[in-house]
Structure 1
Amino acid sequence: MEEPTPEALRERWNTLLEENPKLRIRDAAERLGASEAQLLALGSGETSTRLRGDWADLLLELHRLGPLMGLTRNDHAVHERHGGYGTQRILGPTRLIEDGGFTAALFLDHWRHGFAVNESGHGQIRRSLQFFDRFGHAAHKIYLTEHSREEPFQEIVDTFRADDQAEMLIVEDPLTAPYLDTVDRLWSSTALSSGPRTDDHTVPDHPDLAIDSPTLRVRALPQGTAETVLTVAAERGTEVVMAAGNRGALQVHRGPIHKILRTGPWINVLDDPFNLHLRDTQIASGWHVEEHSGTGQAYLCWCDRQHQPILQIFSEDRSGSWADCLEAACKPAREAAA
């Protein structure tokens, strides 16, 4: 399919914004049949600067910025966590960022496009570095906060500025791309350490299916359990490990959660330093995964209609509050079977 010219795409985007002034760029891209990266490229030289693909070298400079906010999302979960990018480990093509309760596994072999972005709103300029896969879909975004150092930001942008600042950005059509086993990539990631996995790193593709093996037991969860688990975890003050990701990144929060708020189709965790926005109306299946050996750890995972993981939760808490969360998640299923 022929790509629209930047002028034509900009005109359609401006028209859409006139009709929907509060429309987010990701949603605008979907309506326009474009990618988020293509819309950002339209601002090259003004609101955005295209970056050259030395992602690993660029990430090593982020310690200069101080505290930041990492954002990783998929279609139905947005994971926002404040933390520093100063401590990094290299694991092949993966860069592992670790700062207390914040971990981000960045799969750099899936990053194709990067931008420095200056967004205006509410009388302020919000600065960020945003990275996208070959389809133009967001992999990972890094935002400056009120505690960040802004002066090194422009120095980093100038250093990694791409020679090509064209407004036209060509991306691959995701419909023609081979299926990528995101479940395998996320669940086998070091970021989750002892996180959920089966022997072949897959989950069942049927909501009524269960798995029993010498090392693992997998059971389906009823609808609505995600909100129940989040609510119980907040009430009990449970220390949880909560992960969401996509092809290009997996982001993890370790720690308690407190404030849970429902807004329409979204269930939200609104804490400092962690926010989660989960569109649980799009959850097609949920799974309770229990190991029979080793740590005996139990995990919860919710997937979409394509069997891709939306959100995963487990806990290193041994006080019994995690057991309360699991009881709340599994109780409806046991009652239905009774």
Structure 2
Amino acid sequence: MSALNTAPQAHVRQQFAALRQQGLRARDAAGKLGISEGEALAAHAASHMHPAQEADSLYSATVLEGDWIALLQGLEAVGPVMALTRNESVVHEKIGVYRNVSAQGPVGLALGAEIDLRLFLMHWHVGMHVVERTAKGEQHSLQFFDVHGQAVHKVHARPQSDLQALEQLVQRHARPEARPLFKPGQYQPPADRPDADIDAASLDQAWSSMKDTHEFFSLLKTHQVGRAQSFRLMEGRHTRRTPLVAVEWLLHRASRGGLPIMVFAGNAGCLQIHTGAVHRIETMGPWLNVLDEGFNLHLRADQVAESWLVSKPTADGVVTSVELFDAQGQLIAMFFGERKPGKPELPAWRALAHGLMQADAAALEVAA
């Protein structure tokens, strides 16, 4: 049982509000208290507060039932919102409308022009409608957490959002009597097997035989090999390491050339995708940022421990990606050229990606 389940809820709310008012983000404020963000927000649920306490609280939260696909489908009526998905090293934000939301078993999709998601619903444990009271007025969001209270996906209302439609959606899915419980710790993916236990020749053969990039996930599962581990084992064959500054150079060059790209980022519960050109690229301290209308990316460049140039064969030709990992071997983000099934990748993207291998780190820094 976690700290929140035994600590007085009023104390959690008071301390959390004080840290937020000092300027800490909700995730960091919860961390300061030794609890998860999900736990901190759950302390503001109606089941934990009297009406008078709710009126005076910085936050209020309504727990939502677990038909996540129906809930996300209902967001279409709300209109433009901001979808946010993150991991430890990157935050991916897209503004748009949730459309074409569906699921097959525990895997869901949102296939809108702006909001493009892959949902792994086995990691979705609790959802909440969160209202934060600020100097600019009430800020509404839907926030979804895994069993450890780590955010898997968030939906933030925008000035153009239909708040009445959002309220109606919340009322349809509300479970005000619920008291969410979370487990301590964080989700840990299975550890990689030793390299010596992997049949590298079989992995190479299966890799060379791919007809679609989506086969790669089953390839990893069949060979019981981690993603970064597979890149290491196939280095020089299908993968090559790039300088760690490659992503900054890549974004600047794509911006200058108006080259449409795809940016994938996420966590165990959600993968969020941007497709299109990027324009305003800025570095602020350790953060590498894309600050465009409709798309923001905030990437901790100092946490990139590995950067790989990856080639995957398909029926439409080779597909090239640049993929970033942290020091624990966890995927941070992936970059592709814009493409649709049945179409070859853009020659300009392939040339740009392979250009990473023809310059050393110093040259890349100058070019950026």
Pairwise same-fold verdict (TM > 0.5) = yes
Please state whether the residue corresponding to 1:313 is helix, strand or coil. strand
Counterpart in the other structure of 2:353: 326
Counterpart in the other structure of 1:34: 35
After superposition, give the CA deviation of every residue in 1:103-158 in whole Å (9 maximum; x if it has no partner): 11122221111110112334232211110000000011111222221111111111
Counterpart in the other structure of 2:13: 10
User: How has the CA–CA distance of structure 1 residues 138 and 196 changed in structure 2, closer, same or farther, with 3 Å as cutoff?
Assistant: farther
1:285 aligns with 2:306: yes
Larger Rg: 2
Amino acid at match of 1:194: T
1:307 aligns with 2:307: no
1:82 aligns with 2:102: no
CA contact (8 A) 1:97 1:104 kept: yes
User: How has the CA–CA distance of structure 1 residues 161 and 226 changed in structure 2, closer, same or farther, with 3 Å as cutoff?
Assistant: same
Give, in angstroms, the shift of residue 72 of structure 1: 0.5
CA contact (8 A) 1:210 1:220 kept: no
Count residues with an aligned counterpart: 318
Give, in angstroms, the shift of residue 52 of structure 1: 1.8
Give, in angstroms, the shift of residue 61 of structure 1: 1.4
Judge which range, 126-135 or 308-317, deviates more: 308-317
Counterpart in the other structure of 1:194: 213
Amino acid at match of 1:220: R
Counterpart in the other structure of 1:249: 270
User: Which is bigger in relative contact order (C-alpha 8 A, separation at least 6)?
Assistant: 1
Give, in angstroms, the shift of residue 16 of structure 1: 3.6
CA contact (8 A) 2:131 2:140 kept: yes
User: How has the CA–CA distance of structure 1 residues 180 and 55 changed in structure 2, closer, same or farther, with 3 Å as cutoff?
Assistant: farther
Counterpart in the other structure of 1:148: 161
Counterpart in the other structure of 1:170: 181
Counterpart in the other structure of 2:234: 211
**Percent same amino acid at aligned positions?**
31
User: How has the CA–CA distance of structure 1 residues 180 and 101 changed in structure 2, closer, same or farther, with 3 Å as cutoff?
Assistant: farther
Counterpart in the other structure of 1:234: 255
Please state whether the residue corresponding to 1:200 is helix, strand or coil. helix
CA contact (8 A) 1:107 1:249 kept: yes
Amino acid at match of 1:87: N
**Among 35, 42, 48, which residue is 2:61 paired with?**
48
Please state whether the residue corresponding to 1:40 is helix, strand or coil. helix
Amino acid at match of 1:273: G
Separation in structure 2 between the aligned mates of residue 257 and residue 195 of structure 1, nearest angstrom: 25
CA contact (8 A) 1:243 1:251 kept: yes
CA contact (8 A) 1:118 1:128 kept: yes
After superposition, give the CA deviation of every residue in 1:53-80 in whole Å (9 maximum; x if it has no partner): 2212212211211122211000111000
CA contact (8 A) 1:210 1:219 kept: no
1:23 aligns with 2:34: no
After superposition, give the CA deviation of every residue in 1:191-239 in whole Å (9 maximum; x if it has no partner): xx736947426334499x45159xx601112221111111111111111
**Among 105, 108, 124, which residue is 1:95 paired with?**
108
Unmatched runs of 5 consecutive residues or more in structure 2: 47-53, 55-59, 193-211, 340-344, 364-368
CA contact (8 A) 1:195 1:314 kept: no
Unmatched runs of 5 consecutive residues or more in structure 1: 183-192
**Counterparts in 2 of 1:97-116, with a 5 A limit?**
97-116=110-129
Separation in structure 1 between the aligned mates of residue 118 and residue 230 of structure 2, nearest angstrom: 29
Alpha-carbon RMSD? 2.8
Separation in structure 2 between the aligned mates of residue 121 and residue 159 of structure 1, nearest angstrom: 26
Amino acid at match of 1:247: A
Give, in angstroms, the shift of residue 308 of structure 1: 1.0
Separation in structure 2 between the aligned mates of residue 194 and residue 153 of structure 1, nearest angstrom: 36
TM-score normalised by the chain length of structure 2: 0.78
CA contact (8 A) 1:101 1:255 kept: no
Amino acid at match of 1:203: R
CA contact (8 A) 2:85 2:265 kept: yes
Separation in structure 2 between the aligned mates of residue 131 and residue 89 of structure 1, nearest angstrom: 17
User: How has the CA–CA distance of structure 1 residues 92 and 255 changed in structure 2, closer, same or farther, with 3 Å as cutoff?
Assistant: same
Give, in angstroms, the shift of residue 286 of structure 1: 0.9
User: How has the CA–CA distance of structure 1 residues 203 and 66 changed in structure 2, closer, same or farther, with 3 Å as cutoff?
Assistant: same
Separation in structure 1 between the aligned mates of residue 121 and residue 327 of structure 2, nearest angstrom: 26
Please state whether the residue corresponding to 1:254 is helix, strand or coil. strand
Separation in structure 2 between the aligned mates of residue 304 and residue 173 of structure 1, nearest angstrom: 23
Separation in structure 2 between the aligned mates of residue 86 and residue 2 of structure 1, nearest angstrom: 36
1:272 aligns with 2:293: yes
Separation in structure 2 between the aligned mates of residue 11 and residue 248 of structure 1, nearest angstrom: 30
TM-score normalised by the chain length of structure 1: 0.85
Counterpart in the other structure of 1:179: 189
Give, in angstroms, the shift of residue 83 of structure 1: 1.9
Separation in structure 1 between the aligned mates of residue 114 and residue 215 of structure 2, nearest angstrom: 18
Q: Which runs of 4+ in 1 moved over 4 A?
A: 333-336
Bigger helix share: 2
